Amino acid sequence: MASIALDKSSGSGLISRNDFHYGFFSAAIKLPPGISSGVVLAFYLSNADKYPHNHDEIDIELLGHDKRNNWVLQTNIYANGGVSTGREEKFYFWFDPTAQHHYYSIIWNTHHVVFLVDSIPVREFPNRGAFSSVYPSKPMSVYVTIWDGSDWATHGGKYPINYNYAPFVASLAEMEMSGCMSNETVLPNSISCSKASHSSSSRSDPVYGQEFISLSKQQITALDWARSKNMFYSYCKDTSRFKVMPSECK
């Protein structure tokens, strides 16, 4: 169990000791209660430190919301430095994410990226067709951070953080990072695909196994439910932002 906090002087966060090239990554997170506009808690993979001009990133961003105290789940994917073309999708929660810990998970392998909340898939980004050119491909570190996103996070910056409600403290538990560890610090371009798990749970290897290649019928049903009932924004429907839609949206 650990806590990370944001106050007027600083945010905070954690980073993995190892880089990973594909795997299963999960954290149980309890979000700060109360007025939270402008607060961003991110659980994500990135290699921006090693590839500042062509980095990859896979994001779960939990965005503090307006005076109704609602939080929003945002997922995003960048590949090869395409930071000008974020691939955001936003969801309302179907539970109170401040009441107890909930599981936020990412599957990333050669087949697809899948975002899950409490084992319910909310988004699948396949590595095929038009998607393949914008698919994250380089080893990444795992991060959990909390920070001030006042300029964009809540209604495009309409509601900045009110530090009268600080500190904003999030609780983390049951972190899991399983998959192919990159050994580039020892030998360039070296990847070890033996399971490296930082959890006491016994899961199948995330890189191999049918359950990580494609979604089951039950998962597809759950995915359709999450997207039809809770998704309120997709970059693929934002015609005011994209005069020409990204190729994977067509």
Active-site residue list: 57, 61
> Which residue type, as a one-letter code, is found at position 143?
Y
Which region, left, alpha or beta, applies to residue 180 given φ > 0 means left and ψ of -120 to 50 means alpha? beta
The Cα–Cα gap between 198 and 196 comes to: 7
CA atoms within 13 A on the CB side of 213: 3
- Measure the CA–CA gap between 40 and 42, rounded to whole angstroms: 6
Write the secondary structure of 208-236 as one string of H (helix), E (strand) and C (coil). CCHHHCCCCHHHHHHHHHHHHHHEEEEHH
- In angstroms, the CA 90 to CA 172 distance is 22
Residue with tokens 């997709």: 234
Are 8 and 147 a contacting pair, CB within 8 Å? no
